[in-house]
Amino acid sequence: MNQLLNKNKTSNKDAILEIGEIRKSFKIGNNEIEIIKGISFQVNKGDFIIIFGSSGCGKSTILNILLGLEPPTTGKVNFLNKDLYKMSEDERAQLRKKEIGTVYQQSNWIKALTVLENVAFPLMLQGFDLDSRVELAKEALNLVEMTQAFDQIPTELSAGQQQRVSLARALITKPSLLVADEPTGNLDSKSGEEIMALFKDFNQRGHTVVMVTHDLEYLKYASRSIQISDGELLAEHQANAESLKKLAISKRGNIDSSVKVGEN
Ligand X SMILES: Nc1ncnc2c1ncn2[C@@H]1O[C@H](COP(=O)(O)OP(=O)(O)OP(=O)(O)O)[C@@H](O)[C@H]1O
**Residue 61, interface with ligand X (CB under 6 A)?**
yes
Binding window for ligand X (CB under 6 A); candidates: 52-60, 129-137, 198-206, 249-257: 52-60
Among 17, 10, 44, 42, residue whose Cα is nearest residue 206? 44
- Residue numbers of the site for Mg ion (CB under 5 A)? 60
**Residue 223, interface with ligand X (CB under 6 A)?**
no
Binding window for ligand X (CB under 6 A); candidates: 12-20, 42-50, 55-63, 119-127: 55-63
Distances (CA, A) of 29 to 33, 57, 118: 10, 19, 40
Residue of this chain nearest to Mg ion (CB atom): 60
Three-class SS of residue 174? coil
- Residues contacting residue 249 through CB under 8 Å, at least 6 positions apart: none
> How many CB atoms sit inside 10 A of residue 138's CB?
16
Among 80, 8, 89, 55, residue whose Cα is nearest residue 229? 55
Binding partner of residue 106 among ligand X, Mg ion, none, CB under 5 to 8 Å per kind?
none
**Residue 26, interface with ligand X (CB under 6 A)?**
yes
Site for ligand X in 27-46 (CB under 6 A): 28, 35
> Binding string, 98-127, against ligand X, x = CB under 6 A?
------------------------------
Distance CA 79, CA 83 (A): 7
Binding window for ligand X (CB under 6 A); candidates: 3-11, 56-64, 83-91, 235-243: 56-64
Binding partner of residue 96 among ligand X, Mg ion, none, CB under 5 to 8 Å per kind?
none
Binding partner of residue 28 among ligand X, Mg ion, none, CB under 5 to 8 Å per kind?
ligand X
Distance CA 178, CA 191 (A): 19
